[in-house]
Chains A and B, each alone.
Chain A
Amino acid sequence: MSAWRRLHVLVRPALTCSRLTQQRTWLCCSLSTGAPLRNDFFKDLEAQLAAVRKKAADALPGSGWSPLEINPNLPPERADIVIVGGGVVGWSIAYWLKQRERIREGVKVIVVEKDPTYSQASTVLSAGGIRQQFSLPENIHLSLASADFMRNINEHLSVMNEDPVDLQFNQSGYLFLASEEVAHIMEENYSTQRQAGAKVSLLSPTQLKEKFPWINTDGVVLASYGLENEGWFDPWTLLNAFKRKAMSMGVIQCCGEVTGFKHTTIMVRTGDDEQVGIRRIQSVRVQMPNSLEYQPVECAIVVNAAGAHSGKLAEMLGMGFGAKDTFAGVPLPVEPRKRYVYVVHCPDGPGLDTPFLIDYSGVYFRREGLGGNYIAGMSPEEGEEPDISNLEVDHQFFEEKIWPSLAHRVPAFEKLKVSSAWAGFYDYNTFDQNGIIGIHPLINNMYFATGFSGHGLQHSPAVGRAVAELILDGNFKTLDLSNFGFKRILTQEPMLERNIV
């Protein structure tokens, strides 16, 4: 048997030696005459000479060849719009820009994201809720428009020959609980929400107990409960759907970090005879990951959608370094804040009807899957903000602050067990905790879409459309968000949410 196999091996090269490969040369030498080998050598030589001739022709001036190797991942040298930040807001803007462009390939859009694994991105580390229960009409309309988008997501974001998008939306609603001090605010908010068209209902403690028997209604005077378009979904799916659609429409994805801008400054005189410098960005410097290589991208418009890091990006343009009491001296009031999310397991906890519950103490929780898992969290008080240099979780915080309130509200949570936890960044607007959408008066071609302070994910579809309108049409068309512009920061008029928390 083995002898036969060896024979077979010996015979086969002899049979195939007319189309010989280099590895088999030694075998062939021992078996066949030299003539075919010599033939083959000349054939090889001819092919190599042809390759040399081709290379020489390429190296002549006027051809595209260069002796230096070029990194294929470098962004293009020129683009119309560079979006800094590949989170859900950035990709949403990219999608809407492509959606609203008048002709095919009308705008060349690049999205720059420094971490393609999204390991620290706020988008995917959020709890993924959407609600209409805000106090500002702008925020309510943004949520309604986003819910409408998510309802018809496959009309917007389906790509031909790919699976339809399944957001895994849980139609579970939000439940806000108010104590006696804040009940009047809740009533006012309720009427604003109803006026804006949100389907919200108010519940008395008795009705609340009837609807959700597992709640302890001590201290609750009033509750507001969303009937429709509220719940939670999978942020990763939404991000990927936006990304997939935008890239299928021609948006260029680029992995790298923006480390600087090249800009020009024009000095102009104001009516009060003051000198003001107006900046215009010429190019964005994109540094490749883990290397010193960088590429300046010439562009007409930059969109700052860098979320928690957008403040740093604005500093690169000198925002906030000007003289005090001038526009140039006002920094972008967005900074990263760390928030913990805890996954707890409690088999006796509330069931399928669990809403996204927000207590007046600041604690929130929602159901996660069907197996008795819940995720819970809370915003720390202003003075006790955790360190933002890493994403470590403080388990003490759960034990001391969250658990007591949770167990007070839902007695079944006395017997819970923390199974895991994670931390993520908020793009916290320290000025008024609302989004900043629009252009800075002193930087003539940078659009901001940042500072959403935790609402970025749920408002991303509508915000993307608004920013695309602002860029392509010059003003807002569908939703008027001019109140979210930069003006309120420069004139020190905050647009505060009247929260019950």
Chain B
Amino acid sequence: MIRAYLASEIKRSVRNYRNLIFVLLIPVFMLLIFSSSTKGSRTGLLSTTTYVMISMATFAAMNGALSAGGRIAVERQTGWSRQLRLTPLSGKAYVSSKLMNGYCIALPAMAIVFLVGKLALSVALPSATWLKMALFIGVAMTPISLLGLFIGYTARPDNLQAISAGVNVTLSALGGLWFPAQFFPLWLKDLAKATPTYWIAESGRSAAEGQWIGATGTVVLVIWTLTLGAASMFAYEKANQRNYAT
């Protein structure tokens, strides 16, 4: 049952061209622009091109996860989620399908950025490292998937775009995805290190460097995961108790 539902969710996501183009192509576009002036330079242990590529892979994955979560808000508004509540499909299956669907968009979006990096920008890394980067980012982005759920259960469709865009820009800019955080002033750098996005990208970069993000990063990501997990669970419960007779 959940497999049939997930399959139809993926089908729907693939057919939503507008969103798909945004999620898949914008990061690639930005990668090509940002990397055009970075030839030969280095940022930390990595070439600046690799650094930017990992930032854009994180950005792409985040967009994928957030867009999938946002669909919940639309289905709550139209009442489709209410119709589904009458079926044997459990709430748990509904939510986990949405989460998995998010990964099904996020992972290819990330892969396309990597592919462009490898083929067009000649980022040379061992194949095991590519896989490790994808895996690290995929695991580290858990709080973003949960944030997508939280938005889905709290936003209304008419303010969904604004909320998603606001969250997206804040997390991307503050997390140093668009401009490396190490060039931030000290106070801003401290703030960047409190964002999940900074550490998601860091986990990708540490994979490229053959390291791991370390205790601070892990703790920050775990705290975000627990907080957003609890918040989205609370929002889910509340949305389902709400009086729908509007």
Are A and B co-members of a single complex?
A: no
